[in-house]
């Protein structure tokens, strides 16, 4: 996991180095700058695979192709075996596979990649950028004068003539426009017609495979453990494949997550760590949280605070963590989904919230882990699992009063966890950590009723949903500067944001 800056056309090395300095937290283990043709690549590295030899930017054998890469290619070993008879590899890194794939297949290489990634690849045909099908890893681009500039985070950019996010599943050349090379849900998806026992077996098999492939690392791997269903399943599936599993949780004193995570950690025999924080800790950390989150969306900021603290704890012990992100979107775990028509309206909303993750929960996971120099991996969003579940009959996924949320996932994973853990009800991340309304309550208590009502009206005029979100927006604007467009900030659909 890393960060990079790429320039093409009329690159400015001093500017590039300044931009790299602003995202140095993404790559505390090293860095480099490489000029190639009209391109200039800069990279900061968090060393996960092939620690001694995987430095970037990396070149091919002839030196006419170079890449700056952020992410993990989980099928890199299989791809390497296919390429071995035509190319001489000099590292064990997954990064090098990108170079040789591009030499053979050009942009058609993208359909062969299984992983989370954003990269810039420069060579004789110009500079190509690409982002994984779900947008797990970030990538922004724009123009400044005659120079094309791309980077891993918004805060890296100076004032630009234009600035955009490269959407998930898209690629582009520096002198062209983005095109879509992949969708999380391919068109014309036939519904899976299997008996329920076979559906359950297939879900469990695919989830276990997704977890195991994400243990790929040359450095220690841990798990974020709230004690709820999703993270507990990930931890339980990791445990047989690890000699020592470190688990991490964070919350305010008395928070449900702390006690539940202790129970699961004890049952699994993990090396468990916890961080207890206070309301003052949240308030003091907010500028740093919002600066790195690059968002003022109220539900996202609330959930980012506990992840910020747990990541700060985890970085003392591991460089990679697995999380339970994505299970609620995949298995219809949100309460508001019960209010939708349980036909195509529900199906469409599930597709929509998964596609929006690139600007919401996946952004939170990326930024709150990377600010502390660790990599977050999300097995529930493995494309093999996601594409199978998205084709299941809706009556297996739809929320019903006579069964718990994520019923299908619970049924598929019976026996992995004790029944009392498997039956736990969903809590939002910030609710389980005990910090959901800390800032909102402090804002309300610091104002008179008239001042609060004025703040609410001011927020509404700015397209914000509450005085709390107005507070976050003001911090965001101060931290990000005047040149970053608010339109680049993704918004959650949480109805509780308008408190």
Residue 305 CB contacts under 8 Å (≥ 6 apart), including other chains: 282, 285, 286, 289, 430, 433, 435
Going by C-alpha positions, the residue among 408, 373, 470 that lies closest to residue 194 is: 408
* C-alpha distances in Å from residue 278, one per residue of 68, 72, 259, 275, 371: 40, 35, 17, 10, 21
Going by C-alpha positions, the residue among 305, 281, 371 that lies closest to residue 28 is: 371
Residue count (the chain): 499
Determine the 3-state secondary structure of 250 from DSSP. strand
**H or E element, residue 276:** strand 271-277
* d(C-alpha 186, C-alpha 365), whole Å: 25
**209-242: b (≥16 Cβ within 10 Å) or e:** ebbebbebbeeebbbbbbbbbbbbbbbbbbbeee
CA atoms within 13 A on the CB side of 164: 13
Give the start-end residues of each E strand in 37-169. 39-45, 58-59, 66-73, 115-123, 126-131, 140-144, 147-151, 162-165
**H or E element, residue 248:** strand 246-252
State residue 251 phi and psi, 5-degree precision: 180, 170
Other Cβ atoms closer than 10 A to 495: 12
- The string of DSSP codes covering 296-328 is --HHHHHHHHHHHHHHHHHTTT-SEEE--TTHH
Among all residues, which ones are annotated catalytic? 2
What does the block give as tokens for 185?
């849900």
Residue 177: exposure state from Cβ atoms within 10 A (0-12, 13-18, ≥19) = exposed
State residue 150 phi and psi, 5-degree precision: -130, 150
What does the block give as tokens for 250?
């964070």
* d(C-alpha 355, C-alpha 256), whole Å: 30
């Amino acid at each position: 996991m890393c960060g990079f800056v790429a320039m093409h056309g009329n690159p400015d090395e001093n500017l590039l180095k300044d931009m790299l300095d602003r995202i140095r937290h993404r790559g505390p283990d090293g860095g480099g700058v490489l000029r190639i043709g009209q391109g200039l690549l800069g990279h900061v590295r968090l060393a996960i695979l092939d620690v001694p030899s995987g430095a970037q930017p990396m070149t091919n054998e002839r030196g006419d192709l170079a890449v700056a890469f952020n992410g993990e290619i989980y099928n890199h070993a299989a791809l390497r075996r296919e390429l071995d008879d035509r190319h001489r590899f000099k590292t064990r890194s997954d990064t090098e596979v990108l170079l040789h794939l591009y030499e053979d297949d050009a942009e058609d290489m993208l359909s062969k990649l299984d992983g989370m990634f954003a990269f810039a690849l420069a060579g004789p045909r110009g500079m190509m950028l690409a982002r994984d099908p779900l947008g797990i890893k970030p990538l922004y681009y724009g123009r400044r004068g005659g120079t094309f500039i791309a980077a891993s985070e918004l805060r890296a950019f100076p004032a630009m003539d234009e600035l955009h996010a490269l959407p998930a599943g898209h690629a582009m050349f520096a002198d062209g426009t983005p095109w879509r090379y992949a969708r999380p849900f391919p068109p014309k998806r036939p519904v899976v017609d299997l008996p329920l026992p076979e559906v359950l077996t297939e879900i469990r098999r695919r989830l276990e495979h997704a977890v195991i492939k994400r243990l790929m690392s040359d450095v220690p791997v841990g798990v974020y453990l709230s004690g709820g269903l999703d993270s507990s399943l990930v931890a339980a599936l990791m445990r047989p494949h690890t000699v020592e599993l470190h688990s991490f949780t964070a919350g305010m004193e008395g928070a449900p997550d702390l006690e539940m995570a202790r129970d699961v950690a004890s049952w699994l025999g993990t090396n468990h760590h916890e961080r207890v924080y206070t309301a003052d800790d949240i308030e003091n950390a907010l500028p740093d949280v919002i600066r790195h989150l690059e968002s003022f969306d109220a539900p996202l900021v609330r959930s980012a605070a506990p992840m910020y603290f747990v990541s700060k704890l985890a970085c003392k012990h591991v460089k990679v963590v697995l999380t339970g992100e994505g299970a609620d979107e995949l298995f219809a775990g949100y309460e508001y989904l019960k209010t939708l028509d349980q036909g195509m309206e529900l199906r469409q909303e599930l597709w929509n919230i998964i596609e929006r993750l690139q600007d919401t929960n996946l952004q939170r996971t990326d930024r709150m882990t990377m600010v502390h120099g660790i990599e977050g991996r999300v097995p529930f969003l493995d494309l093999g699992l996601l594409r199978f579940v998205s084709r299941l009959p809706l009556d297996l996924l739809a929320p019903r009063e006579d069964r718990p949320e994520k019923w299908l996932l619970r049924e598929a994973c019976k026996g992995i966890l004790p029944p009392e853990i498997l039956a736990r009800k969903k809590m939002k991340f910030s609710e389980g950590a005990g910090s959901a309304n800390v800032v909102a309550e402090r804002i309300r208590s610091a104002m008179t009723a008239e001042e609060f009502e004025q703040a609410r009206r001011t927020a509404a005029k700015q397209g914000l949903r509450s005085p709390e979100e107005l507070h976050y927006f003001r911090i965001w604007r101060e931290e990000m500067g005047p040149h970053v467009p608010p339109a680049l900030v993704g918004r959650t659909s949480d109805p509780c944001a308008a408190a």
